[in-house]
Homo-oligomer: A and B are copies of this chain.
């Protein structure tokens, strides 16, 4: 990968340019608008028409039968089932720590105030087709929703000519998906947002997809809630002379193999390490089945930045706000307070990023493209809503009446003031 050595200021400018890209895709927007309108109007028929048109598949039933799911589970390698179950246990024990509690406050005489936390009634999960259908992502989407108490979890995934992936169906069964429909693309998102005769309307849609899926999710935002708009994978590694070049390289490649636009990034205070990692990258990438993709990612988006010291490395990495951040340094946990912007952090020499993709328990659905500045990993919080409530006695209201009517009248909202005053008039 290219090695850049420059002042921190100049490196920060380069990083800022990287995170500021704006996509403009008018044709996609138009196509997606048409698809959404058609699904609203024609429901199931529109879904079947699109599958015929785009994939050449004649769908009789949109819903996947329980028999098909059970068969897939039975045919899945026991090692895979065991691994999925271990992952489920770790994800569950982690995400349960995210559960928020309702509260009630009755400190003031005559006043009760509180906030009630409730699960969403129904959520939809989009699972892409082909090689991008990851069983692990099903666990990551569904488990926090289950912990939140969501009553109905609906999965949609494009039909495949040679049948749905057995591991995907097995993961859906293990995770606790309630129903699965074979519909993909923008039309699947429209179906979940508005409902059809067969596909239920949900309250929130999560899961990654291609540009049509991502655009449709953005379009239906407001009609339903959505998760983040996912971008290409990113890994930022902070390493020093004490890091192991072969391990740093292997971790960078683990994300580079995802996508030609993935961003493997190394920031180090040691030029020698930078060179050694580059040598390892060249050696290891040649051995990978997805060599072409990983090489393209390194060429397109990858970089190694050499900075003066480790403090500068954290400053620069916080400006990048990477999806995954590895701190490959001794006593890594001591740097936790220097990390401002990152989705998921891997501390120390043994916390290789794929540990988080599959098994450690933190979510792997994470903010990308610099959005770790303000977005968070998917979690239990994403599947609940809060409702505030307040109760005042007439006596408690009397004490604050004048303040309310004063503010209402400053804002020119006379009916607001009179509503309060109506409590103190003859009925």
Tell me the bound Cα distance from A221 to B246 in angstroms: 39
Q: Does A75 contact B (CB under 8 A)?
A: no
A294 in contact with B415 (CB, 8 Å): yes
Tell me the bound Cα distance from A84 to B403 in angstroms: 8
Nearest B residue to A36 via CB reads B22
A371 in contact with B222 (CB, 8 Å): yes
B408 in contact with A358 (CB, 8 Å): yes
A407 in contact with B84 (CB, 8 Å): yes
The range of chain A's interface size is: 35 or more
B103 in contact with A420 (CB, 8 Å): no
Distance between A280 CB and nearest chain B CB, rounded to angstroms: 9
Tell me the bound Cα distance from A390 to B82 in angstroms: 22
Q: Which of B86, B250, B392 contacts A419 (CB 8 A)?
A: B250
Nearest B residue to A136 via CB reads B407
Given A22-B223, A374-B224, A418-B250; A345-B387 close (CB under 8 Å): yes
Q: Does A350 contact B (CB under 8 A)?
A: yes
Given A343-B387, A410-B167; A427-B244 close (CB under 8 Å): yes
Nearest B residue to A384 via CB reads B376
B136 in contact with A355 (CB, 8 Å): no
Given A257-B416, A387-B343, A418-B284; A121-B407 close (CB under 8 Å): no
Tell me the bound Cα distance from A103 to B419 in angstroms: 44
Nearest B residue to A97 via CB reads B103
Copies in the complex: 2
Distance between A138 CB and nearest chain B CB, rounded to angstroms: 11
Nearest B residue to A366 via CB reads B388
A403 in contact with B351 (CB, 8 Å): no
Q: Which of B134, B359, B363, B375 contacts A404 (CB 8 A)?
A: B359
Tell me the bound Cα distance from A340 to B258 in angstroms: 41
Q: What are the interface flags for A359-403 relative to B under an 8 Å C-beta threshold, 1 for contact and 0 otherwise?
A: 111110000010111111101010001111111111011001011
Tell me the bound Cα distance from A136 to B250 in angstroms: 54
A390 in contact with B253 (CB, 8 Å): no
Tell me the bound Cα distance from A52 to B113 in angstroms: 47
Distance between A81 CB and nearest chain B CB, rounded to angstroms: 10
A374 in contact with B381 (CB, 8 Å): no
Q: Does A300 contact B (CB under 8 A)?
A: no
Q: Does A31 contact B (CB under 8 A)?
A: no
Identify the interface centre among A103, A115, A221: most chain B CB within 10 Å of its CB: A115
Tell me the bound Cα distance from A404 to B294 in angstroms: 20
Identify the interface centre among A79, A83, A361, A390: most chain B CB within 10 Å of its CB: A390
Distance between A201 CB and nearest chain B CB, rounded to angstroms: 9
Closest 9 interchain pairs by CB?
Answer: A362-B388, A83-B403, A376-B386, A345-B389, A347-B391, A354-B416, A250-B422, A203-B374, A254-B419
List 16 additional A-B contacts (Cβ < 8 Å) besides A94-B113, A203-B374: A77-B410, A80-B406, A82-B403, A113-B362, A135-B411, A225-B371, A247-B422, A251-B419, A254-B418, A289-B412, A341-B385, A344-B389, A346-B389, A354-B417, A357-B404, A376-B385
22 contacts between A and B (CB under 8 A): A22-B40, A22-B223, A80-B410, A83-B403, A98-B103, A167-B410, A218-B222, A225-B375, A246-B422, A251-B422, A257-B414, A257-B416, A290-B415, A333-B391, A341-B387, A350-B423, A351-B397, A354-B408, A354-B420, A374-B385, A376-B387, A379-B386
